[in-house]
Structure 1
């Protein structure tokens, strides 16, 4: 009997199942790799912006079909974003390379050129201040700020580049003649700065009247008229005689100036007396330092005391407010600020 006829072939079913499982897994992996290797379908990055400037909100969008995952890098070092539509702001001008990854393996870029932002000046934020049109060498000049939102001040009075004062209402003494440009900016915001021209004349000479010819040599016609309005009402010779008599009687040093007592309520009453034609201009000037008559700010302009007298005398007016500024050196009133309105139609 042939013994080989009794040999039987045996296959284990578990081995067969293992081969089938491996085959299926290989197919799945292969299909996944084929899917991953599909070409990128992103055509371009959609960008919405009006001017591409610093601070502008820029919108980035992707509408790739079958996209389910996004990663945006805006090229400025900020954190990435992970949505199909995002917004971004650039803080500095320059060129930025924007990168977008879709479904991890698809990448596309776009170069943006961001321009500097244009400063938009709000005129309501500009400083507002008073400065005289005429000043004299070696004579203190008062400056008054009326900016409602100001919390800090930087004044330059036109004789150098340095900051001359940081007070709200400073005083300054010019050392040289000529036209000076006064500048002020507030709250440390250099964008908002206001300017004013001041013509500085030579120092006044005692007992020497200033002629019109001398004034004409120093400044323009418009400033001349303003200066002539501020010349004392009495002739210089008459004033000098009166001052000499006063000094001799009182035996006071020549530099001493008699400062009349006057507060704002009394000043308002005096102005009302002029309007009612009950107070003469001569008696009105007696309440101010001799040869140091103040200027007057009214109707948004600065005028002489004589101009105020002519403007309101015999007129029906209602005084809203009256304030005054005194010279820090001699305590004389240097500026009167009047706010009033006329009654009736005329």
Structure 2
């Protein structure tokens, strides 16, 4: 007999069950890994803040479906956060890349731009200083600071960017005409700076008497008008009488006509179109106190302005009024214009 015919075939059922169990476990693990490798469903990071500035509270949120784990990196080196909704404050201005990981494998980023915080200005720390409203070329002007807490000063008087003085009470001599802006900051704190405006007029000529003989000796055209424009608005004798009665006049109430730049511009145009008489023009100024007129680089009388523009259409660029601080009367008119049709 063949010996092999006596060998029995035997299968252990426990081996088969173990094999089936391994197959099932492998399938479960594979399915879990397939589920984990699903595409990222995080669409965006929600950000809420009243302003993106240093120190402001910013809220970051995620509303992804089926999310169960979060990790936030705010891009500024601070510790991570692990909730779906978190708050954060940035201490320095700059651009920061915020990163979010959802369920460990899904990552999304967002850039936030943090601006410097706005400093709150304490008005009690602003410089308090005096500056006159009018100055003249080549004449020293005095300024004074009364800021109680000031220990250092930086003055700029409007003729350049450099520092013009570092004293508490400096003086300055202007070289050019026009409206200047004076600035002062104290204690090296640029946040607390004070400003004043000053109008610089051309250099004053010596007030020498003008005689009729001087006028008659001149033979060139328009010389008479030039001399008359330099004569005061009132005769010398009348000026003496006014000087003698200064005390009585000071007791009288000065009636200041209502006049602003807009109305004055309309009056000047009325003269240029010959629709307004000189008498109706000057009634808008204090009686007996007619103002002078600045035309670019020279000071003339109001009579000269009337004679120069009457019946001649002009292009009026700007008009400004300077008043006497004691009585409110207009003391100077600054006019910028050009004749129409002239180049």
Q: What is the TM-score with the length of structure 2 in the denominator?
A: 0.46
Q: What is the TM-score with the length of structure 1 in the denominator?
A: 0.46
